Structure 1
Amino acid sequence: MHAHFMSGSLSRRGRPALALAVALVMASASGCAGTPAALANIRYDLGPAQPAASSGTGPALKVLDVSAPDALNTDRFVYRLAYSDAQRIAVYRDSKWTAPPAQLLTQRLRGALSGRGAVLAGDDGVRAPVLKVELSEFEQVFDGRSESHAAVTARATLTQEGKVLGQRTFVSRAPASTPDAAGGAQALATASDALVSQLVAWLGVQAYAAAQ
């Protein structure tokens, strides 16, 4: 009887402590559950653009919106596990772009070209050479579980009154500092800026650029 009484007494005494422990665990679990929600739907862009080198006085250029295949014509953040399944692309669940990559690249390109001369839209009535850029690759490629790089590829076509003045495919790569969306976004911004710089330099040696 005495032993039974002591057991029951301890059981009753332990109930408040047990209830407190359960409450703390539930509160902790609630806090942990809120953390992913706070980190969900993270949006990335290409960061601040570099200011144009100078105010351009060169010939006007019509820069069409950059086009892209359906897989890239979305705000989804694409990555590829080259080390395990190189033919399959995947997307981050909680990380996206602020706009489709083609739109982000269009803004970057027009901003960079504004330093050379007037940048016009495709539907502008002014007669000027037309630049068309087709984005075919814009993704974070994982070479291993902890190693990845940005891959950006685009083809540029320069035309004037229906005649092709020049065409070239540009490829840009940049290593990611971390194997996640944040590292990939930074690397893709670096690779995009490098590709835009290559494209602007290429336009600078085209025949139309000598016209004033």
Structure 2
Amino acid sequence: MSRPTDRPFSFHPPLAGAFAALLLALGVLAGCTLGTPAAVADIRYDLGPAAPAASPGPLPPYKVLDVSAPQVLNSDGVIYRLSYADNQRTATYANSHWTMPPAQLLTQRLRAALSSHGTVLTGGDGVHAPVLKVDLEQFEQVFDGQSESHGALTARATLMLDGKVLGQQTFIARAPASTADAAGGARALAAASDDFVSQLVAWLGMTPVVAQQ
């Protein structure tokens, strides 16, 4: 069943079947009246223009690997969690999607930010340089109440050189959503992404790129 407004909502179980039947009947009626099936919009979101990250000064070249993510985040679905009702359940909006999986969006965001502070390489470049690996663990809109939500991003960054770990840090970024729908969630997650990137750039500026013995 599609949700035209793309707002999370819940049914009282005894009424769910009747409500679904009513929606089906209305859909059939609309199709008969207009002569064509009702069209459902598919809205696509990206992270929008990046907010400038605070400069820690010039950074050395980094090999920035593609951001990795668990299987649940390897799709274009916009995930939300109704934490006020059941903190262990997640769902995705019916008619709203990312332009690409969140890990790919974050890879683009991170490389663009670091390129303004120094040279950005990929894992396949044959240059001796520290390697930055980011594991995305959470990227979702969390509802604290029916009309209150925030974008939640959690990621772990590991900096390596010659097979040795120079540093590792888990980052948590949160940003409030202005509206309780997919659009609000997308904006909040974009803001959380910018916060994460700023935290990561600052951390890199404080992490010496010298192999530990």
TM-score tier (shorter)? 0.7 to 0.9
Structure 1 letter corresponding to 2:49: P
Structure 1 letter corresponding to 2:95: D
Larger Rg: 1
Q: What is the distance in 2 between the residues matched to 1:143 and 1:26?
A: 36
Aligned residues with identical type, % of pairs: 67
Count of paired positions: 181
1:33-48 aligned within 5 A: 34=38, 37=39, 40-48=41-49
Q: TM-score, normalised by structure 2?
A: 0.79
Q: What is the distance in 2 between the residues matched to 1:129 and 1:58?
A: 11
Where does structure 1 differ by over 6 angstroms across 4 or more consecutive aligned residues?
25-28
Q: What is the distance in 2 between the residues matched to 1:141 and 1:57?
A: 36
Q: Which segments of 5 or more consecutive residues in structure 2 lack a partner in the other structure? A: 1-28
Q: What is the distance in 2 between the residues matched to 1:132 and 1:92?
A: 29
Report the CA distance between 1:53 and its aligned residue.
7.3
Q: What is the distance in 2 between the residues matched to 1:58 and 1:208?
A: 10
Q: What is the distance in 2 between the residues matched to 1:184 and 1:164?
A: 35
RMSD: 2.4
Q: TM-score, normalised by structure 1?
A: 0.79
Q: What is the distance in 2 between the residues matched to 1:26 and 1:199?
A: 51
Quick check: 1:190 aligned with 2:179?
no
Aligned to 1:59: 60
Aligned partners of 2:53 and 2:197 also within 8 Å: no
Aligned to 1:68: 69
Q: What is the distance in 1 between the residues matched to 2:136 and 2:166?
A: 19
Deviations 1:95-123 (A, max 9, x none): 00000000000000000000121100011
Aligned to 2:118: 117
Quick check: 1:101 aligned with 2:108?
no
Aligned to 1:138: 139
The structure-2 alpha-carbon separation of the partners of 1:94 and 1:135, relative to structure 1 and needing over 3 Å to count, comes to same
Aligned to 2:161: 160
More helix by share: 1
Deviations 1:8-40 (A, max 9, x none): xxxxxxxxxxxxxxxxx9699639x74xx25x2
Deviations 1:65-99 (A, max 9, x none): 00000000110110000011110110001000000
Quick check: 1:30 aligned with 2:34?
yes
Q: What is the distance in 1 between the residues matched to 2:125 and 2:198?
A: 25
